[in-house]
Amino acid sequence: MIESTLCFVLEDEQVLLIEKRRGLGEGWYNGPGGKLEDGETPRECAVREVKEEVGLEIPLGSAEKAGHLTFTLDGEDHIETHVFRTWKYHGTPQTTPEAYPEWVAFEDVPYDRMWDDDQYWLPKVLEGDTVEATFEFKGGEPLDEADLVAQDLEFGIDFEE
């Protein structure tokens, strides 16, 4: 299974989203994130991806685990995503080849231009809750052209780290 991360930088009821310019979910809004590299922890990956995709420095210890999502495709485990959030960063968001960054008020998050599953868990993560969830997709690769057909979510998870 592919292991990946998402990292949501928060400030004043706003979240830093990216419009993804390439890769899975291209053209859609999401948090910065990507696949784990060899030897990297999920938290290190989240911090590295924020730097690579939008140019912000996140103090490693400030990124708190807010979610663990499993995406299945046609009955097989496909991608596992560790979700982090942080209120600490240095720098100003920059456009990169991977992403157009944009600060968005919590109430204006464009769920209709995001992965279908985001509407079910991201509002709670923005509120400060934690989530463990599985989302079942069907329809073959790539995942971003498959359909979300079932979901199972649990909130208030204690991620012991």
Number of residues that bind ligand 6U4 (CB under 6 A): 17
Cα–Cα distance measured from residue 149 to residue 136, given in angstroms and rounded to the nearest whole number: 6
Helix and strand counts by DSSP (H, E) for the chain:
2, 9
Interface residue with ligand 6U4 among 8, 71, 84, 89 (CB under 6 A) is: 71
- Alpha-carbon distance of 147 to 138, in angstroms, equals 5
For position 30 contacting ligand 6U4 by CB under 6 A, the verdict is yes
- Minimum distance from residue 10 beta carbon to ligand 6U4 (Å): 16
Assess 81 for contact with ligand 6U4 (CB under 6 A): yes
117 contacts ligand 6U4 (rule: CB under 6 A): yes
User: Using CA atoms, how far apart are residues 76 and 94, in angstroms rounded to an integer?
Assistant: 36
* CB proximity list for 96: less than 8 A, separation 6 or greater: 52, 53, 54, 55
Residue 89 interacts with ligand 6U4 (CB under 6 A)? no
Residues engaged in binding ligand 6U4 (CB under 6 A): 4-6, 23-25, 30, 33-35, 71, 79, 81, 115, 117-118, 143
